[in-house]
Amino acid sequence: MKTYRLSPSGRRSAIVLLIGAMLIWVFALWTLRITLATSSDPSAGLFQALQENLDRGLSVGQVIPALLMVVLLIATPLVLWNILEEWGAQYTLTDAGLRFTSLGIALNCSWDRITGIRRLGDDADDPLDAIMVSDDLSSQIKNPLVRWLHCQACGAQRLLIYPGVEDRDDLLQEIRVRSGLSDAQSALSRA
């Protein structure tokens, strides 16, 4: 049984993406604070300044940037989860099927449940492939929050094969062979 993991260069890319996402989150938090908690009294605390602004009413110049920053504050942790799930991704080929593990997620997919392999983003330098399955794999995840986060990252009826996985082409070929997918079926699922 061979286990495929993220390559060292894939890990470096993930670290850069994690740092970038965290910087975006800090920027959004800082900008939201500046946008909503400005006060004419420099000695006023954050909450006092926010209360004064809310009492006066917020202008369009405050509401629009504040809404944008709130969206970033909510979306960035989801992006961080996706990157961390990629960081911990491990694919193990067994006689029974494909096993995917990452961040407390352990999914087993028998070979007969794999219906195709779809290339996502053909024009990308680092292609991303999705293993399409016939039923919902996420039901194997006990924790409802982790299940929801995984479905947001991958979808319920597919597993992602990330671009930075070491020997990725060999992994995809083994999946095609063991699941009985022909190259024609894989090409059709790309469309």
Model pLDDT for residues 62-118, shown as the tens digit of each residue = 778 888 998 999 999 999 999 999 999 999 999 999 999 998 899 999 999 999 999
* Own/partner long-range contacts of 99-104 (Cβ < 8 Å, ≥24 apart): 100/159, 103/146, 104/143, 104/146
CA distance 27 to 69: 9
Q: What is the DSSP string of 120-174?
A: E-TTSSS-EEEEEESS-GGGG--SHHHHHHHHHHT-TTEEEE-TTBTTHHHHHHH
Confidence band of 38 (pLDDT split at 50, 70, 90): low
Q: At residue 184, does pLDDT exceed 80?
A: no
- pTM recorded for the entire structure: 0.80
Radius of gyration of the chain (CA): 22
- The string of pLDDT tens digits covering residues 137-150 is 999 999 999 999 99
CA distance 16 to 35: 28
